[in-house]
Structure 1
Amino acid sequence: MAGLLKTTDLVGLAVCKTPYERLKIFPVKAEPDVKNLGEQLQGGQIEKVILQAEKELRLTRKLVQWKPWDPLVKEPPANQWKWPV
């Protein structure tokens, strides 16, 4: 069939045409085959690996803003973690 497009088989996730530019980590430079690269990264399809890496990068940027390592502004209520309340 003419005109078939390669898909990732994942709804809403397009095939990445430039995975080597999107992922800048050591295994990417060492493995020329995209399919083998996805298997080496244990993420399956490289598009899933890219999506996960982008989400982790966004989270780390948010964590820098949120500063979860700083002390609390005020002490939590004594029964905050008790169940049932």
Structure 2
Amino acid sequence: MEPNQQEQRLAADQDFLKSLNELEDILQENLLEDEAPLPEEQIPTQSPDELNIDLAAWEDAVADIEQYFESKHKKDPSS
């Protein structure tokens, strides 16, 4: 593997991990916000279709992350 290609992969790996950490921080913030109960009149309502879209997006994101880690593990079995 050429050094430049290896550097690009390392940079992409670092960018991905940074984004993953940012996502984790956002999710933690959302969990903390969700713990505070809202008065009944402020509780947002969503249709089942909106909930399914969000679930599908999360499932796609999880699948992408799993695929990334699997491909990384296959390419670099020493880690």
Which has a greater percent of helix? Answer: 2
The structure with higher relative contact order (CA 8 Å, sep 6+) is 1
Fold equivalence (TM over 0.5): no
Provide the TM-score with structure 1 as the length reference. 0.32
Provide the TM-score with structure 2 as the length reference. 0.33
Quick check: which has more Rg, 1 or 2?
1
